[in-house]
């Protein structure tokens, strides 16, 4: 959560920082700010702090009114944790004398004690944030070091290192000091930091997307590593101050990923990428002998064969991918599978033995609850398999094995393509478990694999043919105060995702219900015109879903159905029908989800909502 960026070089810093912050805005957009080291007519440097509540565009307008010549600065876009989204709580935060400024991602767990101690030592606080203690701790160490003979260019870095020894929690932090113009000191623990050298200077950010215009060769800072950026070079050290030479990672993805490429918003662009995601996630996964090949599996077939219980742990949309996986794992491998919100799992005492497989699903690979649940499961002896979209992310690093979802960077806050990548990856895992347990033959696996691959084309068909139907359905429910999403089996799992998408981007209340459960309570909500969105694709329970929909129709519900091409029976009940190509029931979750994503987006568009950056949300949830 939150985004940080820093630049020191030959060019004006303000524009570079704003461009970087815009790229990072998906991580939080409650407020934005920059600190710029400015030189006055007498040659003295001061730090110019400019902060605004709201999006980066507000900060940009403000900066346009300043004629900054600074070539060194740091910036931040915030998702509020400690303290309301006010200007005072916006980063950068400064020391008492205003000569040190910092930006920070993460949480300082012992901030209350530190703040109390700092106040007793005479420091003045101007925000409610946990971050501000960092600025004061650096200030103390910086002044304390004055007489210790540390060369001036290293003082800030040393002070930052000392401050880090006092802080408990997670941080990606960048600091500048008026007395060391042109340098940025950086530290990392449990919060991502990438650093790179471009033609015109040195860059730091919390995500490579903010510096990819300047360089494709970056250092991904490890926990406990530090860096000092100057316009012409970057020094890296360990936590003792000993110089190190970290590995350089080459970024090979295309800059187009960071742009909308002609689409009105990233969400639509990412929905349209889904056929590619299916194909990429499947590349190289089936051997000529009909066996599944998951090279990052990290678990032997013997170990997998011993698995007698699976937990899928995840949050939000990733949790919904888990609901789909449960159906497949139990159907194909006949292993009991439970799906649990990571935030619940970590505080229960789940039954875990060495033959338990925990599957942790996370797009970002850095969700705090999912990570904590992984750590807990491993301590209790489970094997953990990660499903993530981010190579080298904490979920990938802390799991025994991993499968990457190949969705590539997802920028819209609402997950779409990464969900499809997760479902495809979990489907592969279910097939693998089925093979290992001797329940699926290689012939069956080949057939399933081929049909799974066909869903790429099915998604394309939906994108090409159903836009008009989706628009009509969206128009019909855009003003409803609430909606129900219903289905059975796979359809029930998909309904959860449909309801979440509608809630998060259109702010319409929506609830998912197993269709058969409606008559036990929720049907009381239905009155004439109430929208019921049904996943009614052909399946073993299709007739049952139809009966449930008739019960809703009888009470005047407005029914929007996602149905299988060629099904005309549904037209007699539903007011609006969105068709998806026929598939095996196991893969219907992939096809049925796409219209629900488009429906949510269209409702949000009609309601004038911010599709890519819905209120109160952020892309990575690195707090509990
Ligand atoms: C909803 C959404 C969130 C995430 C959740 C978990 O569209 O994106 O519900 O799915 O915050 O995030 P990851 O998958 O990064 O662990």
CA-based angle 490:493:496, to the nearest 5?
150
Indicate if 619 belongs to the active site.
yes
CA–CA separation, 362 vs 313, rounded Å?
9
Q: Assess whether 170 and 280 both reside in one domain.
A: no
Q: Assess whether 252 and 315 both reside in one domain.
A: no
Q: Is residue 440 part of a domain?
A: yes
**Among the listed residues 408, 302, 409, 298, the one whose alpha carbon sits nearest the alpha carbon of residue 358:** 298
CA–CA separation, 596 vs 481, rounded Å?
18
Q: Assess whether 86 and 198 both reside in one domain.
A: yes
DSSP 381: T
Q: Is residue 620 part of a domain?
A: no
Report the pLDDT value the prediction gives residue 151, as an integer from 0 to 100.
Answer: 43
Sign of CA dihedral 133, 134, 137, 143: negative
The stretches of 346-489 forming alpha helices (DSSP H) are 368-379, 394-398, 417-436, 442-465, 467-477
Q: Assess whether 247 and 272 both reside in one domain.
A: no
Of ligand 1's listed atoms, the one at least distance from the Cα of 620 is 15
**Among the listed residues 69, 90, 61, 60, the one whose alpha carbon sits nearest the alpha carbon of residue 10:** 69
Mutation to probe ligand 1, out of 27, 207, 312, 318 (largest number of atoms < 8 A from CB): 318
Q: Is the peptide bond before 92 cis (omega within 30 degrees of 0)?
A: yes
Sign of CA dihedral 341, 345, 348, 352: positive
Report the pLDDT value the prediction gives residue 83, as an integer from 0 to 100.
Answer: 74
377-406 average pLDDT score: 92
Q: Assess whether 540 and 396 both reside in one domain.
A: no
Q: Are strands 401-404 and 558-564 parallel, antiparallel or unpaired?
A: unpaired
**Among the listed residues 417, 24, 414, 10, the one whose alpha carbon sits nearest the alpha carbon of residue 212:** 24
Instruction: Name the token pair of 557.
Output: 């519900």
Separation of 68 CA from ligand 1 center, angstroms?
38
In this structure, the residue with its CA closest to atom 7 of ligand 1 is 414
Reported as half-sphere exposure (CB side, CA atoms, 13 A), residue 227 has a value of: 29
Q: Please give the full DSSP string across 178-221, using - where no structure is assigned.
A: TTSTT-EEEEEEBS--EEEEETTEEEEESSGGGTTTT-SEEEEP
CA–CA separation, 75 vs 174, rounded Å?
9
149-176 average pLDDT score: 83
Separation of 80 CA from ligand 1 center, angstroms?
17
Separation of 36 CA from ligand 1 center, angstroms?
34
In this structure, the residue with its CA closest to atom 9 of ligand 1 is 316
Mutation to probe ligand 1, out of 312, 316, 367, 389 (largest number of atoms < 8 A from CB): 316
* DSSP E strands, 26-90: 31-39, 45-53, 72-78
CA–CA separation, 250 vs 122, rounded Å?
46
Confidence of residue 148 (pLDDT cuts 50, 70, 90): very low
Chain segment 522-575, per-residue pLDDT in tens = 899 999 999 999 999 999 999 999 999 999 999 999 999 999 999 999 999 999
In this structure, the residue with its CA closest to atom 10 of ligand 1 is 317
Separation of 361 CA from ligand 1 center, angstroms?
9
Q: Assess whether 218 and 275 both reside in one domain.
A: no
Q: Assess whether 472 and 444 both reside in one domain.
A: no
Mutation to probe ligand 1, out of 363, 409, 413 (largest number of atoms < 8 A from CB): 363
pLDDT at position 150 over 80: no
Report the pLDDT value the prediction gives residue 153, as an integer from 0 to 100.
Answer: 42
Q: Is residue 307 part of a domain?
A: yes
Domain housing 332: 268-455
251-259 average pLDDT score: 73
End residue of a domain, out of 241, 259, 277: 259
Indicate if 2 belongs to the active site.
yes
Separation of 481 CA from ligand 1 center, angstroms?
24
Lowest mean pLDDT among 49-53, 309-313, 614-618: 614-618
CA–CA separation, 122 vs 125, rounded Å?
10
**Among the listed residues 179, 172, 272, 276, the one whose alpha carbon sits nearest the alpha carbon of residue 227:** 172
Q: Assess whether 160 and 189 both reside in one domain.
A: yes
Q: Is residue 543 part of a domain?
A: yes
As for how many domains the chain has, the answer is 3
17-42 average pLDDT score: 90
CA–CA separation, 486 vs 491, rounded Å?
7
Sign of CA dihedral 368, 371, 375, 381: positive
CA–CA separation, 203 vs 292, rounded Å?
41
Q: Is residue 280 part of a domain?
A: yes
Chain segment 206-243, per-residue pLDDT in tens = 999 899 889 989 999 999 999 999 999 999 999 999 99
Catalytic residue among 2, 315, 477, 609: 2
CA–CA separation, 315 vs 191, rounded Å?
19
Report the pLDDT value the prediction gives residue 152, as an integer from 0 to 100.
Answer: 42
CA–CA separation, 224 vs 239, rounded Å?
5
Q: Are strands 3-9 and 249-250 parallel, antiparallel or unpaired?
A: unpaired
Q: Assess whether 374 and 328 both reside in one domain.
A: yes
- Strands across the sheet with 249-250, in order? 45-53, 31-39, 72-78, 3-9, 201-205, 194-198, 217-220, 249-250
* Helix (DSSP H) and strand (DSSP E) numbers for the chain: 18, 24
CA 443 from chain center: how many Å? 37
Here the CATH number for the domain that contains residue 515 is 3.40.50.10490
Q: Assess whether 426 and 471 both reside in one domain.
A: no
CA–CA separation, 90 vs 56, rounded Å?
12
The 3-state DSSP class for residue 317 equals helix
Here the CATH number for the domain that contains residue 230 is 3.60.20.10
**Phi and psi at residue 496, in whole multiples of 5°?**
-60, -45
**Phi and psi at residue 439, in whole multiples of 5°?**
-95, -20
Confidence of residue 501 (pLDDT cuts 50, 70, 90): very high
Confidence of residue 147 (pLDDT cuts 50, 70, 90): very low
End residue of a domain, out of 259, 281, 296: 259
Separation of 567 CA from ligand 1 center, angstroms?
33
Instruction: Name the token pair of 398.
Output: 């802390």
Percent of the chain with pLDDT over 70: 97
- Which phi-psi region, left, alpha or beta, contains residue 566 (left: φ > 0; alpha: ψ -120 to 50)? left
Chain segment 120-135, per-residue pLDDT in tens = 999 999 998 999 999 9
pTM: 0.85
The 3-state DSSP class for residue 284 equals coil
Confidence of residue 144 (pLDDT cuts 50, 70, 90): low
Q: Is residue 592 part of a domain?
A: yes
Instruction: Name the token pair of 369.
Output: 């609850």
Separation of 67 CA from ligand 1 center, angstroms?
40
Q: Is residue 623 part of a domain?
A: no
Mutation to probe ligand 1, out of 1, 27, 312, 317 (largest number of atoms < 8 A from CB): 317
Q: Assess whether 551 and 589 both reside in one domain.
A: yes
**Phi and psi at residue 480, in whole multiples of 5°?**
-70, 145
Report the pLDDT value the prediction gives residue 261, as an integer from 0 to 100.
Answer: 83
CA–CA separation, 376 vs 393, rounded Å?
18
CA 388 from chain center: how many Å? 10
Catalytic residue among 189, 326, 538, 619: 619
In this structure, the residue with its CA closest to atom 11 of ligand 1 is 316
Mean of the per-residue pLDDT values of the chain: 92
Confidence of residue 580 (pLDDT cuts 50, 70, 90): very high
CA–CA separation, 384 vs 365, rounded Å?
14
Chain segment 428-470, per-residue pLDDT in tens = 999 999 999 999 999 999 999 999 999 999 999 999 999 999 9
Separation of 362 CA from ligand 1 center, angstroms?
7
Beta bridge partner(s), residue 108: 169
Report the pLDDT value the prediction gives residue 30, as an integer from 0 to 100.
Answer: 86
* Percent helix, percent strand, percent coil in the chain, to nearest 5: 40, 25, 35
- Which phi-psi region, left, alpha or beta, contains residue 69 (left: φ > 0; alpha: ψ -120 to 50)? alpha
Cβ(512)–Cβ(465) below 8 Å:
no
Of ligand 1's listed atoms, the one at least distance from the Cα of 317 is 10
CA-based angle 118:120:122, to the nearest 5?
75
CB atoms within 10 A of CB 42: 5
Query: Residue 122 contacts by C-beta under 8 Å, 6 or more apart in sequence?
Result: 96
Please indicate whether residue 196 or residue 142 has the higher confidence score (pLDDT).
Answer: 196
End residue of a domain, out of 231, 259, 287: 259
Q: Assess whether 84 and 229 both reside in one domain.
A: yes
Maximum CA extent, the chain: 85
Residues in contact with ligand 1 by the CB-under-6-Å rule are 315-318, 362-364, 367, 370, 414-415, 500, 504, 620-621
Separation of 619 CA from ligand 1 center, angstroms?
7
Q: Is residue 218 part of a domain?
A: yes
pLDDT at position 155 over 60: yes
Report the pLDDT value the prediction gives residue 323, as an integer from 0 to 100.
Answer: 97
Chain segment 309-349, per-residue pLDDT in tens = 999 999 999 999 999 999 999 999 999 999 999 999 988 88
Q: 352 vs 311, 340, 367, 396, CA distance in Å?
A: 9, 14, 22, 21
Of ligand 1's listed atoms, the one at least distance from the Cα of 342 is 16
Separation of 267 CA from ligand 1 center, angstroms?
14
Separation of 454 CA from ligand 1 center, angstroms?
26
Q: 363 vs 181, 314, 394, 396, 570, CA distance in Å?
A: 38, 10, 11, 11, 35
Confidence of residue 146 (pLDDT cuts 50, 70, 90): very low
């Amino acid at each position: 959560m939150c985004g940080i960026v820093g630049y020191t070089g030959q060019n004006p810093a303000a524009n570079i920082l704003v461009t970087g912050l815009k790229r990072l805005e998906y991580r939080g957009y409650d407020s934005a700010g920059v600190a710029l080291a400015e030189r006055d007519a007498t040659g003295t440097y001061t730090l110019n702090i400019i902060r605004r509540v709201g999006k980066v565009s507000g900060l940009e307008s403000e900066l346009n009114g300043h004629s900054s010549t600074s070539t060194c600065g740091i910036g931040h876009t915030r998702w509020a944790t400690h303290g309301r989204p006010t200007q005072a709580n916006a980063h950068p935060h400064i020391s008492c004398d205003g000569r040190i400024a910092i930006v920070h991602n993460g949480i300082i767990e012992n901030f209350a004690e530190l703040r109390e101690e700092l106040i007793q030592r005479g420091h003045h606080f101007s925000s409610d944030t946990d971050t501000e203690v960092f600025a004061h701790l650096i200030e103390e160490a910086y002044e304390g070091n004055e007489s210790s003979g540390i060369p001036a260019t290293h003082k800030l870095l040393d002070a930052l290192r000392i401050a880090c020894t006092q802080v408990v929690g997670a941080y990606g932090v960048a600091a500048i000091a008026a007395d060391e113009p042109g340098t940025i000191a950086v530290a990392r623990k449990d919060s991502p930091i990438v650093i790179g050298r471009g033609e015109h200077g040195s860059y730091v950010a919390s995500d490579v997307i903010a510096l990819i215009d300047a360089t494709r060769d970056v250092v991904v800072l490890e926990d406990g590593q530090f860096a000092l950026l100057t316009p012409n070079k970057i020094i890296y050290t360990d936590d003792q101050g000993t110089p190190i030479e970290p590995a350089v990672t080459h970024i090979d993805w295309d800059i187009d990923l960071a742009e909308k490429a002609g689409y009105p918003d990233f969400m639509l662009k990412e929905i349209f990428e889904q056929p590619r995601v299916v194909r990429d996630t499947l590349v190289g996964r089936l051997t000529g002998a009909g066996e599944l090949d998951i090279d990052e599996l990290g678990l032997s077939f013997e170990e997998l064969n011993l698995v007698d219980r699976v937990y899928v742990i995840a949050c939000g949309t990733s949790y919904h991918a888990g609901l789909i996986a449960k159906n497949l794992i139990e159907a194909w491998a006949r292993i009991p599978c439970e799906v649990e919100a990571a935030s619940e799992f970590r505080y229960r005492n789940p039954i875990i033995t060495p033959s338990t497989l925990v599957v942790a699903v996370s797009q970002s690979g850095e969700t705090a609850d999912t990570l904590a649940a992984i750590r807990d499961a491993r301590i209790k002896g489970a094997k953990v398999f990660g499903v993530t979209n981010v190579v080298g992310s904490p979920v990938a690093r802390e799991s025994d094995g991993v499968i990457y979802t190949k969705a590539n960077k997802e920028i819209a806050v609402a997950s779409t393509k990464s969900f499809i990548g997760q479902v495809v990856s979990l489907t592969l895992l279910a097939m693998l478990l089925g093979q290992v347990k001797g329940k699926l033959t290689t012939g069956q696996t080949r057939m399933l694999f081929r049909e799974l691959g066909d869903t790429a084309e099915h998604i394309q068909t939906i994108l090409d043919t159903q836009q008009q139907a989706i628009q009509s359905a969206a128009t019909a429910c855009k003003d409803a105060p609430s909606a129900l999403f219903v289905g059975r089996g796979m359809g029930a799992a998909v309904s959860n995702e449909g309801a979440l998408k509608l809630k998060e981007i259109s702010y319409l209340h929506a609830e998912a219900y197993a269709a058969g459960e409606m008559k036990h309570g929720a049907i009381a909500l239905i009155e004439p015109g109430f929208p019921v969105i049904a996943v009614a694709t052909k399946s073993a329970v299709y007739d049952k879903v139809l009966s449930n929909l008739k019960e809703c129709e009888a009470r005047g519900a407005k029914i929007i159905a996602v149905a299988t091409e060629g099904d005309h029976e549904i037209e007699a009940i539903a007011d609006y029908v969105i068709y998806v190509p026929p598939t095996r029931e196991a893969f219907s979750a992939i096809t049925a989800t796409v219209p629900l994503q488009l429906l949510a987006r269209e409702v949000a568009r009609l309601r004038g909502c911010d599709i890519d950056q819905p209120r109160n949300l952020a892309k990575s949830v690195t707090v509990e």
